[in-house]
Amino acid sequence: MKVSLFLTCLADAAYPADVGRSTVEVLERLGCEIDFPKNQTCCGQPAYNSGFHRETRDVAKHMIRTFEHADYIVSPSGSCVAMLKEYPHLFEDDPEWIGRAKKLADKSYELTQFIVNVLEVEDVGAEFEGKVTYHTSCHMTRLLGEREAPMKLLKNVKGLNFTELPNKQQCCGFGGTFSVKMLPISEQMVDEKVQHIEETNADILIGADLGCLMNIGGRIDRQGKSVKVMHIAEILNSQK
């Protein structure tokens, strides 16, 4: 099965190779052939959520062209995939592009969703020792509607000592540009999240969206706390 990887701009630019690499290796281990379209950029969410929809359409068109050849588009981010699924709304009045946008939306999957629902695998054979908790990102759960896949996969990772995060449904306060535009509010939200993480006594916070992890991890670092954040792809790629 050929899978086209949409890395997302955060994994591409702000982070080292780990998340993308783990995604590639996990998928390959499950028998997928990876295609990485080099012209890919960003899903357009920063502009879209800021109200700049004309500008978003330019980005969306570029992404549609870049991934038009793909059978499946898989991305290690629920939020960015939810944005790909927004594209048809952007082209409601554009008969040429709406069909192409719909096709793109229909073949886009978040990584864990793809593994569980398309590959129908719940145990990827990973092993990871550690006391962990998991942040359920808002866009993954509410916009994409994927509430179960990450937990199904984590349940089968050997060695995980898992504690559920209290008030897990609450937003971490990232929200893209919200995190800087509404800084004082975002700060309160991320502090509450960090407090709940500490209540679990976990050493590692796992998440499936780099946006949330960058926010929570950045705040944890600033406060000089020792909890480490990791992307779920890295956990699923861990082997003894």
Partner 1 sequence: MGVKISNEKFFDRVDKGIKDTFMRKAVSEAQSRLEGRKIEVTEELGNWEDWRDLSEEIRQHTLENLDYYLEQFARNVAKQGGHVFFAGNAEEANDYITSVVKKKNAKNIVKSKSMVTEEIGMNEALEEIGCNVVESDLGEWILQLDDHDPPSHIVVPALHKNKEQIRETFNKKRQYDKTSDPDELAKFARQELRKDFLAAEVGITGCNFAVAESGSVSLVTNEGNARLATTLPETQITVMGMERIVPTWKELDILVTMLCRSAVGQKLTSYITGLTATKEQGDVDGPEEFHVVIVDNGRSKILGTKFQSALQCIRCAACINVCPVYRHVGGHSYGSIYPGPIGAVLTPLLEGYEDYKELPFASSLCAACTDACPVKIPLHEQLVEHRRIIVEQEGKSSFGEKLAMKGYAFGASTPSLYQMGIKGAPTFINTIAGKDGDGKGAGPIKLWTDIRNLPKSTGQSFRKWYNNREKGGND
Q: Which of residues 84-143 bind partner 1 (CB under 8 A)?
A: 138-139, 142-143
Please choose, out of 101-109, 120-128, 150-158, 175-183, the segment that lies near partner 1 by the rule CB under 8 A: 175-183
Return all residues near 151 (Cβ < 8 A) that are at least 6 apart. 134
Q: At what angle do helices 53-67 and 78-90 cross, to 10 degrees?
A: 110
User: CA 24 to CA 18: how far, in whole Å?
Assistant: 10
Residue from 1, 17, 31, 201 touching partner 1 (CB under 8 A): that is 17
Q: Which is nearer to partner 1, 7 or 121 (CB)?
A: 7
Cβ pair 46, 80 in contact under 8 A: no
**C-alpha span between 166 and 203 (Å, rounded):** 15
Residues in the chain: 240
Q: Does the protein bind partner 1 through residue 1 (CB under 8 A)?
A: no
Among 3, 7, 132, 204, binds partner 1 (CB under 8 A): 7
C-alpha closest to that of 192 among 211, 208, 209, 216: 216
- Check binding of 75 to partner 1 (CB under 8 A): no
**Residues 21 to 50: which contact partner 1 by CB under 8 A?**
21, 24, 36, 38-42, 44, 46-50
* Contact residues: partner 1, CB under 8 A: 7, 9, 11-21, 24, 36, 38-42, 44, 46-56, 58-59, 61-62, 66, 138-139, 142-143, 169-171, 173-190, 192, 214-215, 217-219, 221-222
